[in-house]
């Protein structure tokens, strides 16, 4: 097939029929970090009543009144009642005076700050309205969702039980925890940690067509997606793509963009297969470009994050092919890092990558679009 254009590769992925993963119910703490399988709407307003956001005095404010009578219960004009943070305000309340601004004397309260209607009162439904979306299908559930779900009484959430099988390929590769001689597998641990929302399994195998073929078949039956790492170039021992063809269908073997070039996509009996190169930067970029695209189709929500940024310095692209550059982002500005497909140190400093046109001069201050790297899924 040869290399295809990036737009064509994206179109081919869009055209794939990818099955939705199995849905399961998970309870509090179990669902954090997983992908929501459904929209979750608020069953009620929050807060459920008007409440004070400060310790102080609830008042029934009247223009011209500077001293309010302290009472218990409902407030008439010119009356006040002591209240604590989070407490429901009494009927008749239309503002709260903070305790540090108040003076109490002879059963009356006055203050040294200008009073404003509804100051320091959180109105019913001001934070969350009944029917508001707390979660969207395909959204990764974070600890910040957790508190809102708890306050709205959502004890269980339907999430996707996504299973992904990873195959690291190479005669020279050993498992990362092994003490044997060889090159430790440094790519699959990184890729796995970018997919904390999924159940994963890893096989480390040699450059052997039968072993690659059998590993793909073995993982296919228990995975929603398969990822291979390595063996994707054009050398004598690069056997991955031929094994994919033997196992199913190779959708495309790579794209005509430097660094992304050797990443491909296949389908094995209806299961998507992502081919990652054996170079660290290339592998990460292909995962973000093609892998997150596939996963986005799987869960029904875009997981890739694109952003327009301003170049902080000139870039001269001297390659004869469009090229992927890594960037450090700071306040909307993008600083290019050293170019290359296997630079571990540069990757550790990167926040995003962008694809720049071949033989083009980019000037400081020019706007480009980058895709942000996942730091915390």
Tokens, residue 227? 């990822």
Report the pLDDT averaged over residues 356-365.
96
pLDDT bucket at 341, cuts 50 / 70 / 90: confident
Cis peptide before 47 (omega within 30 of 0): yes
C-alpha to C-alpha distance for 66 and 339, rounded to whole angstroms = 68
- The pLDDT tens digits for 294-326 are 999 999 999 999 999 999 999 999 999 999 999
Q: What are phi and psi of 338, to 5 degrees?
A: -60, 145
**pLDDT at residue 151, as a whole number:** 87
- The pLDDT tens digits for 259-283 are 999 999 999 999 999 999 999 999 9
**Which helix or strand (DSSP H or E) is residue 193 part of?**
helix 188-193
C-alpha to C-alpha distance for 270 and 183, rounded to whole angstroms = 33
**pLDDT at residue 237, as a whole number:** 61
Of residues 66 and 255, more confidence is placed in 255
The yes-or-no verdict on residue 233 having pLDDT over 80 is no
To the nearest whole number, what is the mean pLDDT of the chain?
92
**pLDDT at residue 236, as a whole number:** 61
The yes-or-no verdict on residue 376 having pLDDT over 60 is no
Model confidence, pTM: 0.85
**pLDDT at residue 222, as a whole number:** 93
Report the pLDDT averaged over residues 117-123.
95
Give the domains, in start order, of the chain with CATH numbers: 6-26+157-299 (3.40.980.10), 51-122 (2.170.190.11), 306-372 (2.40.340.10)
**pLDDT at residue 273, as a whole number:** 97
Report the pLDDT averaged over residues 1-14.
93
> Cα dist. 4→258, 264, 306 in Å?
12, 10, 22
**pLDDT at residue 234, as a whole number:** 61
**pLDDT at residue 293, as a whole number:** 98
**pLDDT at residue 171, as a whole number:** 83
């Amino acid at each position: 097939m040869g290399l295809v254009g990036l737009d064509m590769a994206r179109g081919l992925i869009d055209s794939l029929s990818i099955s939705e993963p199995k849905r399961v119910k998970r309870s509090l703490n179990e669902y954090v970090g997983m992908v929501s399988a459904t929209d979750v709407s608020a069953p009620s307003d929050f807060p459920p009543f008007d409440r004070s956001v400060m310790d102080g005095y609830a008042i029934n404010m009247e223009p011209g009144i500077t001293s309010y009578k302290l009472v218990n219960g409902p407030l008439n004009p010119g009356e006040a009642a002591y209240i604590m943070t989070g407490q429901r305000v009494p009927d008749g309340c239309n503002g709260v005076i903070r305790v540090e601004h108040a003076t109490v004397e002879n059963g009356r309260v006055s203050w040294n700050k200008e009073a404003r209607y509804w100051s320091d009162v959180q109105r019913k439904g001001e934070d969350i309205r009944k029917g508001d979306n707390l979660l969207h299908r395909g959204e990764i559930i974070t600890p910040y969702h957790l508190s809102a779900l708890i306050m709205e009484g959502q004890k269980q959430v339907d999430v996707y039980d996504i299973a992904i099988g990873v195959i690291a390929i190479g005669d020279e590769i050993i498992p990362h925890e092994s003490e044997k001689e060889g090159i430790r597998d440094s790519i699959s641990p990184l890729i796995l940690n970018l997919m904390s929302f999924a159940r994963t399994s890893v096989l480390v195998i040699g450059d052997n067509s039968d072993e690659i073929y059998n590993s793909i078949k073995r993982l296919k039956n228990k995975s929603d997606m398969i990822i291979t790492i390595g063996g994707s170039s054009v050398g004598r021992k690069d056997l991955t793509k031929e094994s994919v063809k033997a196992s199913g269908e190779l959708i495309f073997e790579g794209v005509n963009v430097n660094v992304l070039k050797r990443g491909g996509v296949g389908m094995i009996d209806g299961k998507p297969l992502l081919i990652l190169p054996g170079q660290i930067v290339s592998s990460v970029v292909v995962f973000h470009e093609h892998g997150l695209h596939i996963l986005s189709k799987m869960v029904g929500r875009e997981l890739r994050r694109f952003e327009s940024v301003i170049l902080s310095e000139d870039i001269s692209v001297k390659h004869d092919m469009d090229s992927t550059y890594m960037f450090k982002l700071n306040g909307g500005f993008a600083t290019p890092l050293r170019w290359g497909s296997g630079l571990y140190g540069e990757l550790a400093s990167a926040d995003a990558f962008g694809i720049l046109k071949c033989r083009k001069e980019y000037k400081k201050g020019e706007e480009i679009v980058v895709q942000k790297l996942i730091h915390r899924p």
